Amino acid sequence: MTELKKQSNCQNGIGFVNQPCFIPAQEVLHLVGKKWGIQLIHLLRDGNPKRYNEIKEELRKGWKEKQISDATLSDRLADFVKKGIINREVYPEIPPKVEYHLSDKGMSLSQALQPLVTWAHDFCHGNL
């Protein structure tokens, strides 16, 4: 199959699932599908920088029956920072001040996730 044909099939959403075009989508879904991933992206979508404890408290407010651990929050933040989804800004102060906010790539991801979140809500409530 020529590269042009593969690209065309990928853009049209047809073809075999093992085609290279599906791999990036699978990687992104794996990243945001990790525990608390979507919630973290959703929380930071307003564009306002937040400190670690602010993020932790906001996530805990929304989920009374589930609580995010410090280890999980640190891991998710590190994952997203490494992938360029979240920016981590360190200020040269004592005590140290660190803020997190979505990068442009993260904002784009947040917008792309919204239709999926809406679909999932409808699916879970039997509206499909």
Domain count, the chain: 1
What pLDDT is recorded for position 84? 98
Judge whether 85 and 78 are in contact, CB under 8 Å: no
Whether 120 maps to a domain, the answer reads yes
What pLDDT is recorded for position 15? 57
Strand partners, 89: 99
Whether 60 maps to a domain, the answer reads yes
Name the residue among 91, 65, 76 with its Cα closest to residue 35: 76
Tokens representing 102?
Answer: 């979505």
Whether 5 maps to a domain, the answer reads no
Q: pTM for the full model?
A: 0.80
Whether 61 maps to a domain, the answer reads yes
Whether 12 maps to a domain, the answer reads no
Whether 6 maps to a domain, the answer reads no
Whether 66 maps to a domain, the answer reads yes
| Residues 45-67: tens digit of each pLDDT | 999 999 999 999 999 886 666 88
Judge whether 98 and 40 are in contact, CB under 8 Å: no
CATH value at residue 114: 1.10.10.10
What pLDDT is recorded for position 12? 60
As a whole number of angstroms, the distance between CA 88 and CA 98 comes to 7
Q: Which residues of the chain have pLDDT under 70?
A: 1-19, 62-65
As a whole number of angstroms, the distance between CA 7 and CA 3 comes to 6
Residue 102 phi, psi (nearest 5):
-70, 140
Range of the domain at 41: 21-124
Region at 13 (left for phi over 0; alpha for psi -120 to 50; beta for the rest) = left
Could you tell me the strand order of the sheet in which 50-51 lies? Answer: 50-51, 97-102, 86-91
